[in-house]
Each structure stands twice: as C-alpha cells, then as structure tokens.
Amino acid sequence: MPHPGGFSRAMVVASAIALVFLAGCTASSPRFRTGGGTASKDEENELHWSGKIRDEETREDDRKVSLDDVKRVSTPRPDRQKYSNQTPAGIDRDRVLLDVVSFLGAPYAYGGNSKEGIDCSGFTVRVYESATRKQLPRTTREQYQIGDPVEKDRLQFGDLVFFNTTGRIPSHVGIYIEDDLFAHASVTRGVTFSSLESTYYRTRFVGARRVVE
C-alpha cells in the first residue's frame, strides 16, 4: 500500500515537474567562478573539459528523458505492492524529489552551489542537506569515498552515482531516482534528469555509493 499521504505529495512533485518542463527549462552556457577575476588552474582545466563534455554529451546522450518518464517515477504505482515513501537507507523520496525539482533548469557553474549556478557535487550537497539533513563532502572525489559501495543492478532511490567524464575517476556525480533515471547538474543542460542507459552515461559509469547513518 502507498505510504499514507504519499500519493498527494507525489502529485505535488509531478505537478511541479510538469510546470518546469512546460516552461521549457533550458540551461545557459556553463559558467565558472573566478574569484578575483583571474581563472585558477582548476577553472582553466574545467573550461577545457567543458567543451569536450558538451560535444560528447550532445552526440552520445541518445536516450532523452521525457516528462512522462519523470512523472512515472514520482507517482506510486499499483504494481509496487511494497511501495514506501521511506527508502531502506532512510531517505524520504518525496522530499528529495521536491528539492530536485526546485533546482531544475538551474545553469551549470563550476564551483557554484545556488540556483543561479551550480555544479554536480554542489547539487548533491544541497539536495542531501535539505532533504536528508546529511552533510556530504563538497567534491565529487570526496563523495566517492563515503558510504557503502553499491552494484549498478542494486541501485536504490537516493544513491549517489558516479561517472568518468574527463578521464579522472570520478569526475561527475548525480542522485539516482528510479527506473534508470538520475538527477544531476549537467554541463550541457544544467540541473536535469538523465538516463543511466544512454550511451554517454552507460559507458562512463564508474560506481555508486549509498550514504547511510
């Protein structure tokens, strides 16, 4: 049976997602924090890789995520007899989805952590902090070292999923949702949903971690 009240909250999530998609959320070009105005070595490296990532992602992300895909995972279904809003790791699905939706369309910005501009690890930090009260390390590499490793065929809602997009393992992180979908701050599209089964992400997947108490 659905979690009491879960359906109404899930409908709120689905409605919010629909509004964002219908508004045509498109991210602007990636931005980079430069502090005093001079790009650091890390920022120069990120700028170099961003062009390569945009080209490869545009070319290889061959499994686009539609509004129906996202609504399907945000609404309890009759075939899920053991549906619970609370995951085994203690994560509130609806709360995570609402926080993810609040960031949808935010542009990518290296070093950013707000809706004006955010990077992949900044996005996971903000969602986890707001939705789960768990404080993640700031960088993708540090996040890859916490929690418990999870096999791809055993992923659960809320697990962190990691990718090699620059030749460095890991260089990108997102939050697994369900049905092979994950939420993340994409260099190309900003905060969005993508499919683990697209050619781009399937070939670059390097692991997952489950953050537990």
Total domain count for the chain?
Answer: 1
CATH number at residue 137: 3.90.1720.10
Answer yes or no: is 30 within a domain. no
pLDDT band of residue 2 (cuts 50, 70, 90) is very low
Nearest to 173 by CA among 213, 132, 131, 145: 145
Answer yes or no: is 32 within a domain. no
CA-CA-CA-CA dihedral for 51, 54, 58, 62, to nearest 10: 130
Which of 3, 25, 48, 120 does the annotation list as catalytic? 120
Which of 3, 25, 48, 184 does the annotation list as catalytic? 184
* Segments forming the whole domain that contains residue 197: 6-25+39-210
Instruction: Give 7-64 pLDDT, tens digit per residue.
Output: 455 666 666 666 555 555 544 556 655 444 455 666 667 667 888 898 998 899 889 8
- At 17 the pLDDT is 66
Answer yes or no: is 1 within a domain. no
Answer yes or no: is 43 within a domain. yes
Answer yes or no: is 101 within a domain. yes
- At 10 the pLDDT is 61
- At 4 the pLDDT is 47
172 is catalytic: yes
Instruction: Give 124-157 pLDDT, tens digit per residue.
Output: 999 999 999 999 999 999 999 999 999 999 999 9
Answer yes or no: is 34 within a domain. no
Query: With b meaning 16 or more CB within 10 Å and e meaning fewer, what string describes 23-45?
Result: eeeebeebbbeeeeeeeeeebee
184 is catalytic: yes
DSSP E strand stretches across the chain: 31-32, 109-110, 113-114, 117-118, 148-149, 160-163, 172-178, 181-186, 190-195, 205-210
3 is catalytic: no
Cα 195 to Cα 39, 47, 66, 70, 134: the distances in Å are 33, 25, 10, 11, 25
Which of 3, 25, 48, 172 does the annotation list as catalytic? 172
Nearest to 172 by CA among 147, 149, 197, 194: 194
